[in-house]
Amino acid sequence: MKIIVHDLRQESWQELGMRFHEKDIVVGDGQDCAGSDIGKAIGSCRQLVLISRCVYGGFSPFIQEVLERCRTYFEPFLELRHGQSHYVVKKQNKNSFGLVCCFYGDYITPEEEQLARIQSVSDGISLQARGVKIVFYDTLDKLRQLNSIVV
């Protein structure tokens, strides 16, 4: 099962033509999602895909909100991992899923790209993902290449 969280408008999302399996979960902007449900699903998924407009070198407000809601799945305590402070995960899901962070935007500067990479890797460590893949697209048309990356 994979979880796809995106901030695309409905028309843009449908134009992508993403391939899905029966148990895949898609959370889009404007849809109501319960954070604890997403947090539990992350523990059992094999791939978490975040599709976000690059906003000042980070995720869009909607994607950030979904990640914040997932924090209910974490303990209120922090631990030191890889020299950084990260939330303790209630259920051990280490190495059970891969994180794919897809950023899009017309004019992503090298500084914004570097900040987005740092945030993506940090979120991957916090969620205890087995690996993080980060891709950037300058147009929504090129975002269709995502089908070859998302398994």
pLDDT in tens, 63-110: 988 887 776 665 556 677 777 776 666 555 455 788 999 999 988 999
Higher pLDDT, 36 or 102: 102
Within 13 Å, how many C-alpha atoms sit on residue 115's CB side? 11
Question: pLDDT: is 138 or 80 the higher one?
Answer: 138
Distance between CA atoms of 122 and 61, rounded to whole angstroms?
17
Is residue 82 exposed (0-12), middle (13-18) or buried (19+ Cβ within 10 Å)? exposed
CA–CA gap between residue 140 and residue 133 (Å, rounded): 19
Average pLDDT, the chain: 81
Predicted TM-score (pTM) of the model is 0.84
pLDDT band at 51 (very low <50, low <70, confident <90, very high): very high
